[in-house]
A and B are shown apart, each in its own frame.
Chain A
Amino acid sequence: MLLNFLDELRGAGIRASLKEHLTLLEALDSDVIERRPEDFYYLARATYVKDEGLLDRFDEVFHKVFHGVFSDLGEDQATIPEEWLRAVTEKFLSDEERAAIEQLGDWDEIMETLKKRLEEQEGRHEGGNKWIGTGGTSPFGHSGYNPAGVRIGGESRNRRAIKVWEKREFANLDSSKELGTRNIKVALRRLRRFAREGAADELDLDATIRGTAKQGWLDIRMRPERHNAVKLLLFLDVGGSMDDHAKATEELFSAATSEFKNMEFFYFHNCLYESVWKDNSRRWSERIPTWDILHKYGHDYKIVFVGDAAMSPYEIAWPGGSVEHMNEEAGEVWLQRVVDTYPAVAWLNPNAQRGWQYTQSTQMIRQIMSDRMFPLTLDGLDDAMRSLTRKQG
Chain B
Amino acid sequence: MTQRFTGTENYVATDDLKVAVNAAVTLRRPLLVKGEPGTGKTVLAHEIAKAIGAPLIEWGVKSTTKAQQGLYEYDAVARLRDGQLGDERVHDISNYIRKGKLWEAFTSPELPVLLIDEIDKADIEFPNDLLQELDRMEFDVYETGERIAARERPIVVITSNNEKELPDAFLRRCFFHYIKFPDDETMRAIIDVHFPDIQKRLVTQALEIFYELRGVPGLKKKPSTSELLDWLKLLLVEDTPVEVLQNRDPTKAIPPLHGALLKNEADVMLLERLAFMARRENR
Which residue numbers of A lie inside 8 Å of B, CB to CB?
Answer: 15, 17, 19-20, 23, 26-27, 30, 32-33, 38-39, 42-43, 45-47, 49-52, 55, 169-170, 198-199, 201, 218, 220, 258, 282, 285-286
Contact = CB atoms under 8 A, between A and B. Distances in A.
B172 A32 contact: no
Interface residues of B, number: 31
Given A19-B173, A199-B64, A33 B15 contact: no
Contacts of A220: 77
B165 interface: yes
Nearest to B219: A286
B23 interface: yes
A45 B168 CA distance: 16
Interface stretch (B105-113, B175-183, B199-207, B243-251): B175-183
Interface of B: 15-16, 19-20, 22-24, 26-27, 29, 32, 34, 63-64, 77, 80, 162, 165-166, 168, 171-178, 180, 217-218
A26 B27 contact: yes
A42 B26 contact: no
Q: Chain B contact residues: over half helix, strand or loop, or mixed?
A: mixed
Given A50-B172, A220-B77, 8 more contacts: A27-B27, A42-B16, A43-B23, A45-B16, A47-B23, A50-B171, A51-B171, A285-B218
A46 B177 contact: yes
Nearest to B165: A258
B178 A20 contact: no
A52 B165 CA distance: 12
9 contacts: A23-B29, A32-B27, A42-B15, A42-B20, A45-B176, A46-B177, A50-B166, A52-B178, A286-B218
B19 A33 contact: yes
A156 to B, nearest CB: 21
B176 A286 contact: no
A49 B174 CA distance: 10
Contacts of B166: 50
Nearest to A217: B84
B64 A32 contact: no
A43 B15 CA distance: 10
A288 to B, nearest CB: 9
B22 A33 contact: yes
Nearest to A50: B171
Nearest to A169: B180
A23 B171 CA distance: 12
B176 A49 contact: yes
Contacts of B175: 23, 46-47
Contacts of A45: 16, 176
A170 B180 contact: yes
Contacts of B77: 220
B26 A15 contact: no
Contacts of A32: 19, 22-23, 26-27
